[in-house]
């Protein structure tokens, strides 16, 4: 008779979580090109007016053709102009992007039920019920096809056993990529990647690691925890876990959600109130769209700002009445930002709507969401 401990593990016990991360390719630029096919194949830059190279403000994003000239998000628009004066420069049309974003997220909800939307062009889905990476990969390819056919845009997708690995996977083969990292391939996927490919490791942290001779995620995995603790304090344990392929974090918001939020990390820490508020207003549009789709209103508006050096401040305001009026929420956020900002460069911003209520008093209860 087989010993209890040697009994083959049942298949369902071996099923690990399967997380999908989806990120649209050069999102704002792709929408502009979709709506004006003459731009296809050209370097297209979305952002402030370059004014023949004297303009202020930054690049929001650009097409992959423009990236070949070295242009990227958060670069001063004047620099982008000098790198490629014949590029097509287009001011952002936020309302259109928010609309396209909401169509995409609706499609994803239709496919996966609950999703975790994290930015205007990015979401996580839980495909654990597919049970195998073969089936999940098949679904991922279908999702890409549906977005292509119904929205006219490409995206890049990653599949992996946790949200952070899924995000790293989706980054690998942009644009129009599909990267699958089942648990068995996780270590060989992670080991050679540069330390900067871990979300949350910004340029500064990467430099700290590199100056200590830690260049790849494999190097972090081999590092003793004390060395990491000296560099990253309380973040060290999680970083070590991520590097050793042990992270298994799933979707953060599932089931009954009490709040909805968006966040944005600046590639280069920002000191421009126009850029910071512009980005927050884009998030507000996207969040208000989600409120409208779900026929709910928000009463409490919160802002999170992470400054250079990881100091994070949050502040919120509760309005007299629940709303989904963009102007009212923009005013609230502008006010919060003015109270919170002391000119320190900003690394990350987030906007959160909570106190979500339904217009129908019978349903006016958090348990409905
Ligand atoms: P990203 O997904 O970071 O960039 P992207 O979609 O343009 O390109 P990629 O193919 O590399 O994913 O951001 C989504 C949108 O957010 C982007 O189209 C424009 C906006 N954005 C800014 O306005 N400023 C920024 O610094 C960044 C990074 C993005
Ligand atoms: Mg994108």
pLDDT at 89 exceeding the cut of 70: yes
What number does the ligand 1 atom closest to the CA of 122 have?
Answer: 2
The pLDDT assigned to 15 comes to 58
Rounded to the nearest angstrom, the distance between the alpha carbon of 231 and the centre of ligand 2 is 30
Model confidence at 364: pLDDT above 80: no
Looking at the DSSP bridge assignments, the partners of residue 301 are: 317, 353
The burial of 226, by beta-carbon neighbours within 10 Å (0-12 exposed, 13-18 middle, 19 or more buried), is given as: exposed
8-state DSSP, 130: G
Which of the four pLDDT bands, split at 50, 70 and 90, describes residue 6? very low
Which pLDDT tens digit goes with each residue over 352-362? 999 888 765 43
User: Any idea of the CA torsion for 35, 36, 37, 39, to the nearest 10 degrees?
Assistant: -130
**Predicted local distance difference test score (pLDDT) of residue 162:** 97
Query: What digits encode the pLDDT tens for the residues 90-105?
Result: 999 999 999 999 999 9
pTM (predicted TM-score): 0.75
Distance CA 167, CA 288 (A): 25
- Cβ(100) to ligand 1 under 6 A? no
Residue 203: predicted pLDDT: 87
- Sign of the Cα torsion 360, 366, 367, 369 reads positive
> Containing H/E element for 110?
helix 94-112
**Span of 199-213, 271-285, 351-365 with lowest mean pLDDT:** 351-365
122 has catalytic annotation: yes
CB 84 within 8 A of CB 53: no
Q: Whose CA is nearest to atom 8 of ligand 1?
A: 26
- What is the arrangement of strands in the sheet containing 59-62, beginning at the earlier edge strand? 59-62, 44-47, 88-90
Q: pLDDT value at position 117?
A: 87
CA of 348 to the centre of ligand 1 (A): 14
Structure tokens at 259: 């709040």
Confirm or reject: Cβ of 116 under 6 Å from ligand 1: no
């Amino acid at each position: 008779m087989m010993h209890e401990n040697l009994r083959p593990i049942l298949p369902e016990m071996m099923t690990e979580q399967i997380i999908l991360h989806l990120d649209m390719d050069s999102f704002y630029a792709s929408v502009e090109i979709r709506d004006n096919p003459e731009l296809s194949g050209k370097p297209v830059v979305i952002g402030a007016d370059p004014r023949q190279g004297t303009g202020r403000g930054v690049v929001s994003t650009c097409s992959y053709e423009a990236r070949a000239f070295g242009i990227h998000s958060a670069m001063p628009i004047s620099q982008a102009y000098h790198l490629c004066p014949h590029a097509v420069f287009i001011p952002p049309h936020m309302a259109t992007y928010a609309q396209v974003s909401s169509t995409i997220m609706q499609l994803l909800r239709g496919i996966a039920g609950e999703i975790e939307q994290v930015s205007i062009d990015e979401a996580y889905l839980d495909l654990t019920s597919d049970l195998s990476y073969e089936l999940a990969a098949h679904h991922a390819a279908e999702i890409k096809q549906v977005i292509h056919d119904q929205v006219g845009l490409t995206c890049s997708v990653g599949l992996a056993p946790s949200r952070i690995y899924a995000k790293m996977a989706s980054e690998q083969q942009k644009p129009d990529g599909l990267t699958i990292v089942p648990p068995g391939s996780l270590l060989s996927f992670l080991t050679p990647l540069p330390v900067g490919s871990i979300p949350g490791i910004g340029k500064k942290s990467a430099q700290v690691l590199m100056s200590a001779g830690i260049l790849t995620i494999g190097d972090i995995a081999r590092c003793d925890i004390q060395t990491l603790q000296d560099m990253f304090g309380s973040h060290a344990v999680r970083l070590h876990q991520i590097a050793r392929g042990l992270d298994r974090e799933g979707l953060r918001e599932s089931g009954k959600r009490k709040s909805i939020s968006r966040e944005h990390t600046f590639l280069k820490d920002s000191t421009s109130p126009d850029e910071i508020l512009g980005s927050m207003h884009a998030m507000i549009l996207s969040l208000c769209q989600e409120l409208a789709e779900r026929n709910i209103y928000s009463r409490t508006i919160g802002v999170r700002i992470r400054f250079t050096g990881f100091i994070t401040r949050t502040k919120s305001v509760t309005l007299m009445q629940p709303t989904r009026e963009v102007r009212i929420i923009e005013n609230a956020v502008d006010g919060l930002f003015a109270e919170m900002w002391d000119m320190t460069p900003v690394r990350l911003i987030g906007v959160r709507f909570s106190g979500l209520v339904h217009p129908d008093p019978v349903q006016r209860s958090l348990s409905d969401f």
